[in-house]
Structure formats: structure tokens, C-alpha cells
Chains A and B, each alone.
Chain A
Amino acid sequence: MVKRRVKFTFPPELIKEPIIYKLGQRFKVITNIRRADINGDKGWVVLELEGKGEDIERGIAWVTGKGVRVDPAIGDIVEG
């Protein structure tokens, strides 16, 4: 089992979809929300994902495919 700390940024059209719930159900990934800010326009959620490495990777690929931006929780790691 591995853990990943990530930030999901949702576009307006996905705000109402239960994406985090589906991520947990479909990919056997435990989702643990730590911080979030969601309004009618846009939203972000900082959470920890726990599961098998390959399940987390498949889950992140699915979330990204839905149109959610996925970043490391810390922000960009690449710097100038």
C-alpha cells in the first residue's frame, strides 16, 4: 500500500459530479480529504490517496481523463 498527497482542481462543469466517491469505488483507493474550497465557479480539494500503486495510478489517470487537474499537494515541484 502506498500513499499519495494530491490536489484536484475541478472545472465548473464537474463540480456536481461525485468524482471522489467514484474514484474510491472503482479503483479501490481510500480517499481522505484534508482541505477543500468549492464554490459555484471552481473548486479544489487536497486529499490523500491510499491503495496499491497501480490502482492509484489508474485512478489518477481516470480522474485526469474526466477533466480534473491533478497536481502534487505541495504545488509544482519543478522550479526555475
Chain B
Amino acid sequence: MSYAIALRCRKCGREYPLEPINLCDFCFSPLEVSYDYKSIAKAVSREKIIKGPPSMWRYRDLLPVDGAVVDIGTGFTPLVKADNLGQELGLDRLYIKNDCLNPTYSFKDRVVSVAITKAREFGFDTVACASTGNLAASVAAHAAKANIKSYVFVPFDVEPGKLTGIAIYNPVLVTVEGSYDDVNHLCSQLAQRYNWGFININLRPYYAEGSKTLGYEVAEQLGWLAPDCVVAPAASGLLFTRIWKSLDELSMLGLIQPVNTHMYLTQAAGCSPIVNAFQAGILQVHPVRPNTIAKSIAVGNPADGYYALRVARQSGGGACAVTDEEVVEGMKLLAETEGIFAETAGGVVIAGLKKLVSSGLIKKSELTVAFITGAGLKTQEVIAQGVHPFVIQPNLEAFEEIFGK
């Protein structure tokens, strides 16, 4: 049995049983899983975690699941000391959490592994999601593993490479002809009409908890230490808030020292509602219409925007936005210095990190972790036009004509 005890409204605090619901009936604010931390504190230890499987499920005691898990090998991805990039940017202790190396090449496997496990516990025979790529691929893969039917809805203009990366798992793949808002509108209606486990709607409170494993892993990999600074992308804002929650939980359970981490969120300038609110010094996150190449984080009306904003403020961190040109430069810089090919969201993080360091917000000596959440092969279109190989005939003369002897 898990240590989850209820769902609690993040706004008014009302409690609900652990069911597939995501909004408070009174104020329509998001629900969050609450735990019996006293019992968890007795059950967990560093030693027990270290003896667990080399995956996200080594932190099972901190996740809201009861039975057998749906696992395709997610988590415990490398935390790389990024000396070359650190030198380039002016940081002595920079690490990259490379979450490209999950089974479907993005951090979404963490959240979906928990959500599909819960879907099976709740008895759903069908799961669904609306996505621009990463989430859909992960849902389709986990549903295949769990022998559950899946419907995935994507905008009609999604990149061809992403469609293939979804279709291979054989879900019911639906492309929706319409604007981004139309897809939102349709899927909110579908979620009400069909008794499906909608991954980021009625299963969202559980789905959200999977993100915490990113933070747990980083702390463990640093030798049970919270970083001084975290730089992470923000789409709905959920990942950002859960990294913070994970460090807070580890500290509360006595597994790490009290946390003094500064949380910095990054967004693409073409879709930066949370950054806009941070910079304006307001608490309301006003929706925007996305227009950026960083499609995987282009969420115009972020569900957890308010909470992400609060984490950035309360932790003494910040928020910054970068242009699409800077995104591509960020992708190249990471690849050329550390050998890591990130998708556009990773370019947002590296370009944002560069700005945060050059503006003096992140100091040279601070232990900083940048979160790379998806692999570059998913979004190669944005750099493909800049690829110009040398073309030669298959003989030595042709080679030496260009490169000399």
C-alpha cells in the first residue's frame, strides 16, 4: 500500500478520496496528492533507496501507487558534470540532468508511468491524452506495455518525426484539424463524455507526482545534497513545482539538509506567460497564444502557472525567456560542449542559463543543475537547414584538396 492518504485542493484545502478527479468541486482549483509523511519517515532511508531498482521506482515509497507498476525502464538517468559548458558560461560546478535518456526520450515517461499505473488500478480499459508529441509517445508506449487501449490526440501540424515516434506503439492516433485552442476545447469535451483515464486531466494529480523523481535523483546523485540553483523549463509549470516539492520532501524526511535552492524557470519568448507575470511582479498568469519553435513547452494557459510563479519567488529564484534564435544556439552549445543533443526545450534551458549567469543572478561558485527534458532527434527540423557537410569524391586527392596533407 502507498502512503498517499487523500487528494487535497491546493487553493482551499478541501480533501477528497484518492479517485480519478483533478479539480476541487468547490473552487475548481487543482487537487494534489497528500501523504502520511510520519509513516514515510519511518519507512524510508538512504540505504533502502540505494538498494532499490536503478529506475524511478526506487522512490516508490514517495509515490501514490498501490499495486504492480507499469514500468518500461524509466529514470535514474545520468547527472553529468558539465565542465566544458561550465567553462564556456563561467560556472565552476555545473551539472546536466540528462533526461533525454528515458525509454521514449523525454521526462514524460516519469509522469506517465505513474499515471498508467493508476489508470490500471482504477480499472480504466482506455487511456487518452492531447499532446504535441512527447506525452503522446509516452502514453502510447506505456499503454502498450499495460495492454490498455490508448487514444492520443495531436494537432494536425505536429512534426512528422514525432508522429512516427507515436504511431510505432500502435495507439489510436488522431490528428485534429484546427487551432491549438480548438484541440484544447475538443479534448475537454471528450474528457467529460467518455469514461477514459485522461492522463493529464482526471489522472493529473497522480501524473504530477511522477515528476518528483527527477528531483529525488538529482539529490541522490549529488551525494544527498540539494543544488544551490536549479534551471528548468516551464510549460504547464508542473515539472518546475514538483522538482521543488521533491527537494522539500527529502529535507522534511531528513534525507538531505534543509533546502536553500534557488529555482529558475525558463520559457521561450513566443510563449512565456509565467515569465511575463514574474517580470511584471504580478500573481496572475495571463494566457498567451503560443508562437515558438519550442513546441513541447508551448502551453499558453499553464495549469500550474500560478504555483510555478510562487516557487520561483519563494525560493529566491527567477524566470527568464529566450528567443527562438537563442533556443537553437542553446541546443548547439550543449551539443558542442557536452555531447548532448537536446530538443528545443533543452535549448531554452541552456540559453536561459547563459542569460542568468551573464546577468549575475547565478554565481560562478554555485552548484547548478540544468534539466534537459527531451532528446533532440524529436525536433531536428529546427537545425537541419544549418547542416552543410563537406562533399568529396572517394579518393585521397579529393580529401586533401580540402583539408590539406
Contact = CB atoms under 8 A, between A and B. Distances in A.
Interface of A: 2-5, 7, 9, 34-35, 37, 42, 44, 46, 48, 69, 71-80
Contacts of A76: 184, 236, 299-303
Contacts of A75: 236, 299, 301-305
Interface residues of B, number: 50
Nearest to B299: A76
A79 B129 contact: yes
Contacts of A4: 188-189, 192
Contacts of A9: 286-287
B298 to A, nearest CB: 7
Interface in B178-210: 180-181, 183-185, 187-189, 191-192, 200-201, 204
- The main secondary structure of chain B at its interface with chain A is mixed
B23 interface: yes
Nearest to A64: B181
A2 B193 CA distance: 10
26 contacts: A4-B192, A5-B23, A34-B26, A35-B29, A37-B284, A48-B28, A74-B22, A74-B23, A74-B303, A75-B301, A75-B303, A76-B184, A76-B299, A77-B183, A77-B201, A78-B132, A78-B153, A78-B184, A79-B134, A79-B200, A79-B236, A80-B295, A80-B297, A80-B298, A80-B345, A80-B374
B347 interface: no
B135 A80 contact: yes
Interface of B: 11, 22-23, 26-30, 106, 108, 129-135, 153, 155, 180-181, 183-185, 187-189, 191-192, 200-201, 204, 235-236, 284, 286-287, 295-305, 345, 374
Given A80-B135, A80-B295, 17 more contacts: A5-B23, A7-B301, A9-B286, A46-B27, A48-B28, A71-B184, A73-B23, A75-B236, A75-B301, A75-B303, A77-B130, A77-B183, A77-B201, A78-B183, A78-B187, A79-B236, A80-B298
Contacts of A34: 26-28
Contacts of B22: 74
Given A5-B23, A46-B28, A80 B287 contact: no
Contact of B188 (A42, A69, A77, A79): A77
A23 B317 CA distance: 42
A34 B106 CA distance: 36
A80 B204 contact: no
Contacts of A48: 28
Most buried by B among A2, A34, A35, A77: A77
Contacts of B129: 79
A42 B393 CA distance: 64
Contacts of A7: 301
- Most chain B CB atoms below 10 A, which of A3, A76, A79: A79
Nearest to B193: A2
B192 A79 contact: no
A59 B187 CA distance: 19
B350 to A, nearest CB: 17
A80 B26 contact: no
Nearest to B302: A75
Contacts of B134: 79-80
A30 to B, nearest CB: 15
Q: Which of B184, B296, B298, B304 counts the most chain A CB atoms within 10 A?
A: B184
Given A35-B29, A42-B284, A77 B296 contact: no
A27 B120 CA distance: 40
B27 A77 contact: no
Taking each of B11, B108, B183, B236, which has the highest tally of chain A beta carbons within 10 Å of its own beta carbon?
A: B236
A78 B345 contact: no
Contacts of B374: 80
A79 B28 contact: no
B204 A74 contact: yes
A34 B29 CA distance: 9
A77 B200 CA distance: 7
A72 to B, nearest CB: 4
Contact of A80 (B23, B30, B133): B133
